[in-house]
Amino acid sequence: MVIAQDNVITVDDLPEMVRRMHEESVRASEAKADMLDEAEQDAAPLSPVAPLWEEGRDFHSLVQEKLEEFERNLLRSAMEASGWNQTETARRLRLPLRTLARKVKLYGLARPR
């Protein structure tokens, strides 16, 4: 079974749902970049290591925070793609519905009004 040509996996080799989520993520990133004002674009980016030293945080707490941020954004995108239907979102993500419901509550995700 061949899943990718030349042993290179591209976006086109991924399942349709993952491709759609990738496309939505790219569109959201482009929209966010467009919304930044010139002052924010001209500001020098902070080093991702800076919070470790400035706030006295350790590596593991920073990684945990970033993972939670990633999961929250992924769940929000998936919920938006399914019209905020938790059953459909759980099916698409192949998560138990109870797990999704717990994470939605944990991250305070709600349909925008």
Residue pLDDT, tens place only, 2-37: 455 566 677 676 777 777 877 877 777 666 666 655
Complete domains list, the chain, with CATH: 1-45 (no CATH), 50-113 (1.10.10.60)
Helices (H), the chain: 16-35, 38-42, 50-54, 59-81, 86-93, 97-107
How many other C-beta atoms are found inside a 10 Å radius of the C-beta of residue 51? 14
In tens, the pLDDT along 33-86 reads 666 555 455 555 555 555 555 566 777 887 888 899 999 999 999 999 999 999
Cα-only R_g, the chain: 18
